[in-house]
Structure 1
Amino acid sequence: MELHDAGLLIEIARRGSFARVARDRGADPSWVSRKVADIEDELGFRIFHRTTRRVSLTEAGTIYLREAETIVEALDRARDNALSVSQVPSGTLRITCTVAFGQKILVPLLPRFRRDYPQVDLELVLSDASLDLVEDRIDLAIRLGPGVSGDFVVSKLRDTRYRVCASPDYLRRQGRPATPAALAGHDCLRFLLPGFRNRWLFRDGAGAVEPVEIKGSVVSTGALALHAMALAGMGPVLLASWLVDDDIASGALVDLFPDRQATATTFETAIWMLYPSRSFLPQKVRAMIDFLRAEAETKWRAW
């Protein structure tokens, strides 16, 4: 069996679907099915159980691919090591982050990254779901929150903070809340997420924390949607500073409580970089990590 055939089997086992792998590769699902059948005929045993919804490994397939995956990973590592002494970063870098962070922060950086590393092709997967780094073949994930854990390498990019904002038009119509507690009388824009919908927390300079119960007639799972609604004058909103700082600077939004920290869950939140644990980090991944770190140091200090 050829090395690329082993890679195909490993990918199917991780994705659990011929159709998903075919879609990722831009191939016809029937070609993937026939290819697997040919490999199984060559090996003399079945690798996968097939159902109408999912494929799963047989006992023989589990044993076989466990050994095959070790060999494939070792060969990939050997190739990366060899390339590191002879070539510039190259290959396809598959990176994922949230939709809002991707569109607001990451996408504007990509033209310069491509100029610096023209041999690195990019696959940008924007999703508010936490994708599985192995199953979804992610080289580098950027996640936001108080912390992350799992069987991968985690590195903090930088701390973040949140602001409660509203548009000048909204404040002219409804009045500016003098204190966080006054938000109880406003129609707030809320995240449709556990822990975000009904309460915001505020911390003053002395460290005292004030919880405020909020309500609102509009909720959304998307930060970009809430941002657009706040700009349209629909109400106060709690959003990450990296999403609203430009609007505050331009006057399109007003930071209602600039002397206080605000959050929905915890005040210790950050932007994290995640990548699969392995003994050697491919140059293409290292290039993006170093690029983002340089950006965070020079451009993101105000966050």
Structure 2
Amino acid sequence: MDIKTLELFVAVARRGSFAAVARERDVDPSSISRAISELEAELGLRLFQRTTRSMALTEAGDLYLGRLEPLIEELGHAREAASQISGAPHGLLRVTASVTFGQMRILPLLPAFRARFPDISIEFLFTDENVNLVSERMDVAIRLGPVVEGDLIAAKLMDTYYRVVASPTYLGAHPPLKVPTDLQQHRALLFTLRAYRTTWLFRDEEGRDESVPIAGDITLSPAGSLLAAALLGLGPALLPHWLVDDAIAMGQLVDVFPRHRVTATTFETAAWLVYPSRAYLPSKVRVFADFLKENLPNGHRKR
């Protein structure tokens, strides 16, 4: 029984579609269907119940998948372990990250990563959706927020925090922003997530917290659009430090409340490297994780 056919069966079971697997592998769907039919004939079992509109595992197929999938994964681990002895990390690395963080902080690192690991190919999916790593066959996700929960392995890449920023032009033409409650006299630039559109939380140097209602008439996504709007002088915006620090250093934006910590959800946030929970971490994932930790500066968190 050919291992590649078994891997194909697992892929079809995960995706629930011959066509989806065929697109991923750049082959004709009929070749996928033919391989599965040959496997069923060899086993003497029907693995999938097919109709013109849908396909689902049979009871026998579900049982077969449950026993086979861990074995296929272990075979992959064995190949990976053996390859580490004879050569550098290699293979296709599939990574997903949020649109703005991926474009602004990950893409600029790729030339150095490719120079160091020329045998690793990378496929990026930049999206603000939380992609299912298993069903989408992703090796790594980079996610922003509090601690990542669930059946996943997460390693912190860098602390993140937020600033309220506005352009010098905007500040010169509108009522002064001296204390956080002054924001109620302004139309803020809003992010599409509900938690970011109604209230911003501030913590002063003595550790006192204050909740400030926020209103505005421009709502934007992804975060890079908010940055562009702030630079155009359209209003104050709540943005992560990794997105605005360069603009602040160049005088294009002003950190309006430099003595406060500010957030919309929680003050303890970070960028996390996330991968499916498994006993063995492929070398291509390990070197990518180490590279990001080395090259993503943690910055200075305001206390």
Task: With the length of structure 1 as denominator, give the TM-score of the two structures.
Answer: 0.94
Matches for 1:44-193 after TM superposition, within 5 Å: 44-51=44-51, 54-193=54-193
8 Å Cα contact 2:166-2:255 kept in structure 1 = yes
- C-alpha deviation, 1:292, in angstroms: 0.9
Name the residue aligned to 1:302: 300
Matched with 2:208 is 208
Do the aligned residues in 2 keep the contact of 1:176 with 1:256 (CA within 8 Å)?
no
Q: What whole-Å deviation, never above 9, does each CA across 1:83-142 have from its counterpart, x for those lacking one?
A: 122211111111111011100000000110000000011011111111111111111111
Q: CA deviation at 1:302?
A: 3.3
Q: Which structure 2 segments of 5+ residues have no match?
A: none
Alpha-carbon separation, structure 2, partners of 1:103 and 1:97: 9
Q: Residue type matched to 2:298 in 1?
A: W
Contact 1:48 1:55 in 2 (8 A): yes
1:180, 1:257 within 8 Å by CA — same for their partners in 2? yes
- Separation in 1, partners of 2:232, 2:94: 35
Is residue 24 from structure 1 mapped to residue 28 from structure 2 by the alignment? no
Partner Cα distance (1:52, 1:147) in 2:
43
Could you say which residue in structure 2 is the equivalent of 1:270? Answer: 270
1-structure distance, mates of 2:269, 2:60: 45
SS of aligned partner of 1:45: coil
Whether contact under 8 Å (1:202, 1:261) holds in the other structure is yes
Distance in structure 2 (CA, Å) of the matches to 1:155 and 1:51: 43
1:30: Cα distance to partner?
3.9
CA distance in 2, matches of 1:53, 1:148: 37
User: Secondary structure at the residue paired with 1:78?
Assistant: helix
- Distance in 1 (CA, whole Å) between partners of 2:78 and 2:204 is 53
Q: Could you tell me which runs of 5 or more consecutive residues in structure 1 were left unpaired when the two chains were aligned.
A: none
Question: 2:284, 2:58 → 1: CA distance?
Answer: 35
Q: Which has the larger displacement, 40-49 or 86-95?
A: 40-49
- 1:75 and 1:166 map into 2 onto residues whose CA distance is 54
CA contact (8 A) 2:168 2:253 kept: yes
2: CA distance between counterparts of 1:213 and 1:179?
Answer: 13
Residue 88 of structure 2 aligns to a residue in which SS?
coil
Instruction: Sort the Cα spacing of 1:58 and 1:163 in 2 relative to 1 into closer, same or farther, 3 A.
Output: same
* Identity value in percent: 49
* 8 Å CA contact 2:247, 2:253 repeated in 1: yes
Task: Say whether residues 1:236 and 2:236 are aligned partners.
Answer: yes
Aligned-pair CA distance for 1:149 = 1.1
Q: CA RMSD in A?
A: 1.6
Residue matched to 1:288: 288
Q: Check conservation: 2:89, 2:120, Cα contact below 8 A.
A: yes
Q: TM-score, normalized by length of structure 2?
A: 0.94
Structure 1 residue 225: deviation in Å? 1.3
CA distance in 2, matches of 1:65, 1:146: 35
Higher mean C-alpha deviation, range 153-162 or range 105-114? 153-162
Q: Distance in 2 between matches of 1:211 and 1:20?
A: 47
Aligned partners of 1:199, 1:47: CA distance in 2, in Å?
52
CA shift for structure 1 position 29 = 3.4
| Farther off after superposition, 79-88 or 196-205 | 79-88
Letter in 1 for 2:82: A
User: 1:154, CA displacement in angstroms?
Assistant: 1.3
